[in-house]
Amino acid sequence: MPYRRHISLMTLLLVISAIVVAGGLGYLNHLERDISAARLLVTGLAAAAISSSSVNDDLTTTQVTVRETSTDEEESNDQWLSPELGRFLDYDPSLMTGGNYEQRVLFFYAAWDPLGRSLVKELTVNEDQIPPHILILKIDFDSRLSLRKKYGVESENTVVKVNHQGQVVGKQPAADFVKSLLSSVEVDS
What sign does the CA torsion over 84, 74, 123, 66 have? positive
Q: What SS3 state is found at 101?
A: coil
Beta bridge partner(s), residue 134: 103
pLDDT tens figures, 34-43: 665 555 554 5
Domains of the chain: which residue ranges?
1-66, 85-188
Q: Which of 17-21, 69-73, 124-128 has the lowest mean pLDDT?
A: 69-73
Beta bridge partner(s), residue 88: 136
Q: Please state the φ and ψ torsions of residue 100, each to the nearest 5 degrees.
A: -105, 30
DSSP strands (E only) in the chain: 88-90, 103-109, 134-140, 158-162, 168-173
pLDDT tens figures, 1-24: 566 666 777 777 777 876 766 666
Instruction: Give the Cα separation of 97 and 78 in Å (integer).
Output: 9
Reported as a pLDDT band with limits 50, 70 and 90, residue 102 is confident
Reported as a pLDDT band with limits 50, 70 and 90, residue 183 is confident
Reported as a pLDDT band with limits 50, 70 and 90, residue 33 is low
* The amino acid at 37: A
Mean pLDDT for 57-85 is 42
CATH tag for 85-188 (out of 3.40.50.300, 3.40.30.10, 3.40.50.2300, 3.40.50.720): 3.40.30.10
Average pLDDT of the chain, as a whole number:
73
Q: How do beta strands 134-140 and 103-109 pair? A: parallel
pTM: 0.56
Nearest to 96 by CA among 163, 142, 141: 163
pLDDT over 90 at 119, yes or no: yes
